[in-house]
Each structure stands twice: as structure tokens, then as C-alpha cells.
Amino acid sequence: MKKIYLFFFALFFAWQGKSQVLNQSAGWPNAAWTVTGTYNNIPAAFEANPLTSTNFAFDEDDAIDAEFNPTDDEIAAESPVIDLTAAFNASEKNIRVSVQHTFRRYVVEEILRFEYWNSATSTWTPWSDNLAGNNEIVNNNFCTPVKTLYTSPDLNISNFTASQLSGFRYRIYYNDDPSEVGFNYGFCFDSPTIVSFSEPLPMPDFVNLQWPPDLTISQTESDIVYGRIYEAGLTDTTSGQAPGISVWVGISPEGENSNPNTWTTWVPASFLGEVGNDDEYQTSIGSDLDPGTYYYATRFQLNGGTYVYGGINATNPESGGNFWDGTGFISGVLTVEAAPTPANDDCASATAVTLPYDETVNALSATNNAGFVIVTDCGGMNDGVWYSFEGDGGDITITLSEVSAAFDPEIGVYTGSCTSFVCEGNVDDTFEGEGEEFVIAGSVDGTTYYINVANFSQFTNNPEGLFRIQISSALSNEEINFTSLKVHPNPVKNVLNVSFNQEISTVEIFNLLGQKVSSKLMNANQGEVDMSNLTSGAYTVRVTSNDQVKTLKVIKE
């Protein structure tokens, strides 16, 4: 069918043509605005102050203290008083805000929304849901990317008291995580505009939750939800996706079968196709949810109008649904089951691997059944998932990547046995959602090594997550004879002498944590390595010649 745009544009411009008592831009920079909260105000974090800039921007990713720890941040840009009395008296009893913005959402716990001041209760009241992220790339300078338009829900002020009207204010409110210190990304807003209007904004003629009535998935999995919308003169007269329609699927708080208009988690849906006179949309949900029971429904918005919600037929789901009413047309039920316990949940059942090794792991249901791992020189460590392999005399690298957002992994490396570990080292150099790497410098040929991958929580049994583990050896198939290599004195006090009958390219020193503490480019048959600045203890010396590696241990006095 030929697309017919006349109806849409006529409706749009007719609405735009109405006069408005209130049509006010924030006009940033604007000293009448205020910034409140407890937040990191270093320039790298507080990227744009609306009192002195045309934007309001906060880089949560750079909000760190002097010791590089993330800070707990809560920040809001608050408008001056905007008296709504004149708009109310002119029967313009609906208001809304629109703004261009960029936001990279990281976790569901972080809050970014519009709120208004309720003078009757002296509280800030949520005006909008939490904003969905609209950028998955930016991690700095959040005002740089192309922004998208956000339009708030309509706020009806028909029942406002005189003091609520005359004392009205609104704000953009951000909290990195109400329950703990967050470490997320950031946002940027242009100057918002607030308007009043009298007539209700457009609503579609029909919406529903089409399918399914219920879903059961394992933790980290997802499944698809479908919804349909019909608007006379629009979805039935266009070919392909009709313009002016926005669709989401919402998820309730765990265990709460409540009205969808109170939910804060909304996942954007995409156009799937035309079904008769309807347009059908779909999206996947569930991959980021903890085990439990949740409820889901669809939400639709036509031409920036009022949100409406879709439910499925309570008694005959196959017939589809209609507007959500909580009785005849209800929410779907989502059951998220715990992921299965990994087979390598303790050292005794460690996965025996051959090198190279590469696996993607779901360790969300790993337990602490063997107790905390306490080993001299390695400290305490949570019990996670286990791997074992035999050393081959070369350097062995253990790499974790593709780590799930809430998981801060630690790698522990041991020899000995599951009942009597000897510390080879451990590492936790990064934060949640980031990888780790540990190098066994000069593994001992034939020795069994045990690898524990766990949450960096020491003596607290915090859950593990998703990750990819890769274990590889640098040992070449063409080995050279290192019998003439001399490294002395051992023990060493200050200078270590190294000599060989072939050219030595580099000599590297590693501590027992697998960290490189010294490196010297030699390119000669003999040379010296200064160890005077190292603390007393055992070290691994790695000598490289003709791309071959020989490792041995020395004692620093």
C-alpha cells in the first residue's frame, strides 16, 4: 500500500499550532538553576555545569578518588520556581518536558529520571521512568555524540493546590546506585524545554501484549515478547512501520504483580512487521535478571502522547490481548531459574585441560562448598570454579575476558594438592566487568597447577559471573639447550650475573604474584641485572635467547 502521510502531518501541525501559556527553555547557562547532591566535582567527572555551561553532564566512569576508587555519586540539576498558576487558569492542565540527551546506561540499579517538587509533601516526586540508554560506545566527553530527543510523560496538574502550582520546580536526577557505590558511565543533557497544553495528547486505538502469556528461562538467558498496536488512518494505511510510534516491554520488580505504570525497567522494542491492520513489535528480555518471578507488559506511545499499556487475555491467551486492566487483560509471567551449578565447582572436580584452552563460562551458581581458600603468601580467596593442567617448562598465560558487568574476578594459581596448596600467585588488578591476566613465568615441567577463578571478595561468598577463560603456553616446539646458561650468585644480594653461549636478548624478573618487577634488554652473551632495589624473597628469572625461554628461581637476600 502507498504510504499516506497527510493524516499524520495534519494532526501534528494542528497540535503544534495551539498557543501555550508555558513554553520555557532552561536557557543554560542559567545561574537561576542549582546543582545539588553529594558527588565528585573534579572536572573529569562533572563535565558540564548548567550554571556555567550549555549542558548538564556527569562522567561517572571518571568519578574516582585520589586512590582511584569509585566514588558514591548523587547529583541533580534543579530548576528555579516555575509558577504554573497562569497555565492552570488558562485550562492548560498538562505539562511535559523535552530535551536532547546522551546516556550510556550500565546497570539497572542506576537512576536517571525527571522529578518534580511537590510542595504539599515537601518531596521530590518521580515524573518519568528511568531513562533508557541511547549510546553503547561513549565512555568520556558525553556531550560529544549525537543526542536523541527524550519527551517526558504528561504531568496532569488538574488536582494541584495553589501552593503546588506556585511553587513548582523540576529537576534531572541521577544516582549511580542507591544501595552501594556505583561505577558506571555517564550522561549529557542540552537545555530542556517545559510546555503546558490543554488537550490530551494522542492515544492509539488498540494495543496489546500479543505473546507469550508466560516465559521460563535460566539465568543469563532471554526470550522474545511480542506486542501489537492499531491506529486508524495510520497502521492500516501504511506499508511497513507506521511513523510516530514508540514501543517498549516492561519488567516488574521481582515478585511484584503490579500496575505497569509504576515500573521503571523498560526495554525498547523494534518493528517486526505488519499483521493485518496492526503493526507488531518485539524485543528480548530476561538476560540481566536474578532468579525469581517477574511480570511483563507492553507500553506504547503515539506521537509523543500518553503512555498506554498492553496486556494479554487472562482466560484465552491465544486470542491476544487488549489494553492492560489487571483483570481481563493482564501481565505475562516471567520465571528466571538459577543457572546450574558448574561441574568444576570445587578443586576436587577441577576441569583438567590441555593447552591451549578456551572456554566461555557461566559461573553464576558456583558455590563456596569447599570453603574459603586460605594459602600462605596468597591470602584468602573465595571458592569459585577450578581448572588444572600440567606445566611444560614454558611461560603459561591465563587470561579472563568477556566478564559480566557485576563480576569482579580474581585468579588464584596453586601447586601442591587440593588439600595442601602451595601459592604460585594471585591477581586482581581491575574492577567489575573487566578482565584479568596472570603469567606463570617458567612453569615446572610435569607439575600440576590449579587455577581458581572467583569473585574478589576474599572472606565473603559473593557470586561469580560470566567470563571467558583462555590458557596458553609460550613454549616453542624447537627448543635449544640451556645447559651452558649460568645465573649467579644465588642467593643474590645486589647484582645478578647472567651468561650463555648464545646471545641473550632479555632478562626479566617476576615476583611470586606473577608480576614483572624488572626487565633488561641485553643483546649480548653476558650481562648484569641490578636487583638491589628489590625486597628480600624468591623471584623467577626468565632468560630469552633466540626466541626461546629458560626460567629459574633465585633468592634475593
User: Does residue 281 surpass a pLDDT of 80?
Assistant: yes
Q: pLDDT tens digit string along 303-334? A: 888 899 999 999 999 998 999 999 999 999 99
What is the model's pLDDT at position 360? 87
Confidence of residue 110 (pLDDT cuts 50, 70, 90): very high
| Angle (nearest 5°) at CA 146 between 141 and 148 | 115
What mean pLDDT do residues 516-535 have? Answer: 89
pLDDT range class, residue 370, cuts 50, 70, 90: low
Res. 478: pLDDT tops 60: no
Structural domain boundaries of the chain? 23-197, 206-337, 347-473, 486-556
Mean pLDDT lowest among 6-10, 260-264, 336-340, 477-481: 6-10
CATH class, domain 347-473, is mainly beta
* Fold exhibited by the domain 23-197: Jelly Rolls (2.60.120)
**Residue 74: enclosing H or E segment and its boundaries?**
strand 74-78
CA distance 355 to 387: 12
* Residue 348 three-state SS: helix
Q: Which residue did the predictor score with more confidence, 40 or 536?
A: 40
Q: How confident is the model at residue 5 (pLDDT cuts 50, 70, 90)?
A: very low
CATH 3.40.50.980: does it fit domain 486-556? no
The residues that bridge with 225 in the sheet, in sequence order, are 283
Query: How far is 467 from 407, CA to CA, in rounded Å?
Result: 9
**Is there a contact between 57 and 48 (Cβ–Cβ < 8 Å)?**
yes
Q: 507 is written with which cell numbers?
A: 632478562
Please tell me the distance from the alpha carbon of residue 358 to that of residue 265, in angstroms, as a whole number. Answer: 35
Distance CA 344, CA 342 (A): 5
Confidence check: pLDDT of 131 > 90? yes
* Dist. CA 453–CA 517, nearest whole Å: 24
Q: Is residue 348 scored above 80 in pLDDT? A: yes
pLDDT of residue 75: 98
Q: CB–CB of 312/329 below 8 Å?
A: yes
Rounded Cα distance, 389 and 354, in Å? 6
* Lowest mean pLDDT, pick from 9-23, 360-374, 393-407, 492-506: 9-23
Report the percent of the chain where pLDDT is more than 90. Answer: 62
Residue 448 pLDDT > 80: yes
How far apart (Å, rounded) are the C-alpha atoms in residues 50 and 77? 7
Residue type, position 373, single letter = V
β-pairing verdict for 548-556 and 537-545: antiparallel
Bridge partners of 193? 25, 98
Looking at per-residue confidence, does 521 or 75 come out higher?
Answer: 75
Tell me the pLDDT band of 482, cut-offs 50, 70 and 90.
confident
378-408 b/e with 16+ CB inside 10 Å = b? Answer: beebbbbbbbbbbbbbbbbbbbbeebbebbb
Q: CA-to-CA distance for 329 and 327, rounded, in angstroms?
A: 6
What's the DSSP call for residue 93? -
Give the per-residue SS3 of 195-229.
Answer: EEECCCCCCCCEEEEEECCEEEEECCCCEEEEEEE
Q: Running DSSP on this structure, what letter comes out for residue 557?
A: -
Backbone angles phi, psi at 338, to 5 degrees: -60, 145
Candidates 196, 192, 194; CA nearest to 27 is: 192
Dig out the grid coordinates for 324 from the structure: 492492560
DSSP 139-171: -S-TTSSPPEEEEPPPEE-TT--HHHHHT--EE
- For cell 559471573, name the residue: 465
Task: Please report the pLDDT score of residue 4 as a whole number.
Answer: 33
Average pLDDT value for the chain: 89
Q: Do domains 23-197 and 347-473 have the same CATH topology?
A: yes
Residue ranges with strand state E in 376-531: 379-381, 385-390, 396-401, 409-417, 420-427, 436-440, 448-455, 466-473, 486-488, 495-510, 516-530
| pLDDT band at residue 517 using 50, 70 and 90 as cut-offs | confident
- The reply to whether omega before 342 is within 30° of 0 (cis) is no
Determine the Cα–Cα distance for residues 478 and 488; give it in Å rounded to an integer.
27
C-alpha neighbours within 13 Å on the C-beta side of residue 192 = 24
Considering the domain 206-337, what is its CATH architecture? Sandwich (2.60)
Beta-carbon contacts of 74 under 8 Å, excluding residues fewer than 6 positions away, are: 37, 38, 39, 174, 175, 176
Asked if residue 443 lies in contact with residue 396, where contact means CB atoms within 8 angstroms, the answer is yes
Checking if the pLDDT of 552 tops 90, the result is no
- Gyration radius of the chain's alpha carbons: 31
Give Cβ neighbours of residue 316 (< 8 Å, ≥ 6 apart): none
**Listing from the earlier edge strand, what are the strands of the sheet with 170-175?**
34-38, 74-78, 170-175, 111-118, 123-126
Pinpoint the alpha helices (H) of 23-105: 85-89
Confidence tier at 173 by pLDDT (50, 70, 90): very high
Which grid coordinates are listed for 420?
595442601
Cell 518493528 sits at which residue?
271
pLDDT computed for residue 210 by the predictor: 97
Banded model confidence at residue 468, pLDDT cuts 50, 70, 90:
very high
Q: Which residue, chain included where needed, has cell 565512555? A: 139
pLDDT band at 511 (very low <50, low <70, confident <90, very high): confident
Q: How far is CA 460 from CA 70, 131, 383, 424, 456, in A?
A: 20, 33, 10, 22, 9
* pLDDT of amino acid 483: 77
Q: Which of 341-355, 429-443, 537-551 has the lowest mean pLDDT?
A: 537-551
Q: Which residue has the higher pLDDT, 512 or 341?
A: 341
| DSSP-derived pairing of the beta strands 448-455 and 265-268 | unpaired
What is the Cα–Cα distance from 400 to 412, expressed in whole angstroms?
12
* Residue 121, C-beta contacts closer than 8 angstroms, at least 6 positions apart: none
| Percent of the chain at pLDDT exceeding 70 | 93
